[in-house]
Amino acid sequence: MLMEMKAVSAGYYRKRVIHDISLSVDRSEVVSLIGHNGAGKTTTLKTILGVIKSEQGEIRFRDKRITGQDPVENVTAGIRFIPQERFTFPDLTVWENIMLGAHQVQQKEKIGKNIDEIYNQFPILKKRLSQKAGTMSGGEQRMLSMAMAMMAEPQLVMVDEPSLGLAPLIIQEIGRIIRRMADQGMAVLLVDQNIKQTLKISNRVYVMKNGQIVLEETSQKLLDRGEWWDLY
């Protein structure tokens, strides 16, 4: 497994929010974390990123223990977090934002190759390179934040609620892009409330309830059931 969490507990100050979480995600997999509001999904992602320190348990990435490691080191090692909130620099152009995403890429040829890939995946962005990011629609800004994350060729991408507040067509588009990221070899850990699409693009699913994982299943199995309300 590329990333593995073993019996991790974490929270804020003295308030423990996630308890005994064990989950994993491998290259070429989309693994989803679903659960009600406040279940601890975002907290889990932030604990992997290292902005929240785990109190117990172990996190491993690329066969190395990264428990408690600084987020900057985790990002350098190949982990990216695309937050629930929009994450672009509104006063910079689309092009400038994309290039900021590339600041860790050392080889120039790679930057060119990654940009081609981004134009390919996000044709909307290609048409708007000189537009200020802050003047783009919510869906376009979502795509831009994904493009920024992809410029650095991360190995593990964690995406928090990418479809929140967006129109169905854009949600579908974002779903396709996420699936493709995994098909190209990345490991994707996805949090999304849009269960049906999430199941369609994921390989495996973990259901969280009150800070704990209550079910792990393949997406296919859950899709076959046809009903998911009882998962919560």
DSSP summary character for residue 153: -
Nearest-approach distance from CB 42 to Mg ion, in angstroms:
3
How far apart CA 151 and CA 98 sit, in angstroms, is 7
Q: Please identify which residue in 24, 30, 41, 153 interacts with ligand ATP, judged by CB under 6 A.
A: 41
> What is the number of H-type helices and E-type strands within the chain?
9, 10
How far apart CA 111 and CA 48 sit, in angstroms, is 27
Q: Rank residues 147 and 205 by Cβ distance to ligand ATP and give the closer one.
A: 205
Exposed, middle or buried, 191 (CB in 10 Å: 0-12/13-18/19+)? buried
37 binds ligand ATP (CB under 6 A): yes
Residue 38, contacted partner among ligand ATP, Mg ion, none, CB below 5-8 A by kind:
ligand ATP
Q: From 35-43, 72-80, 99-107, 199-207, give the range in contact with Mg ion by CB under 5 A.
A: 35-43
Site mask, Mg ion, residues 41-70, x = CB under 5 A? -x----------------------------
Residues 86-145 that bind ligand ATP (CB under 6 A): none
Q: Please identify which residue in 2, 25, 30, 39 interacts with ligand ATP, judged by CB under 6 A.
A: 39
* The one-letter amino acid at 74: N
Q: From 24-32, 40-48, 58-66, 116-124, give the range in contact with ligand ATP by CB under 6 A.
A: 40-48
198 binds ligand ATP (CB under 6 A): no
DSSP summary character for residue 141: H
Q: How far is CA 153 from CA 92, 128, 184, 185, in A?
A: 22, 22, 10, 10
Q: From 38-46, 144-152, 166-174, 181-189, give the range in contact with Mg ion by CB under 5 A.
A: 38-46
Q: From 39-47, 69-77, 92-100, 145-153, give the range in contact with Mg ion by CB under 5 A.
A: 39-47
Q: Rank residues 118 and 205 by Cβ distance to ligand ATP and give the closer one.
A: 205
Q: Return the SS3 of 9.
A: strand
Nearest-approach distance from CB 91 to ligand ATP, in angstroms:
27
DSSP annotation string for 43-96: HHHHHHHTSS-EEEEEEEETTEE-TT--HHHHHHHTEEEE-SS--S-TTSBHHH
The two three-digit tokens of residue 214, written as one number: 């209550």
Residues 8-27 that bind ligand ATP (CB under 6 A): 12, 15, 17
The residue length of the chain stands at: 232
Site of interaction with Mg ion (CB under 5 A): 42
Site of interaction with ligand ATP (CB under 6 A): 12, 15, 17, 35, 37-43
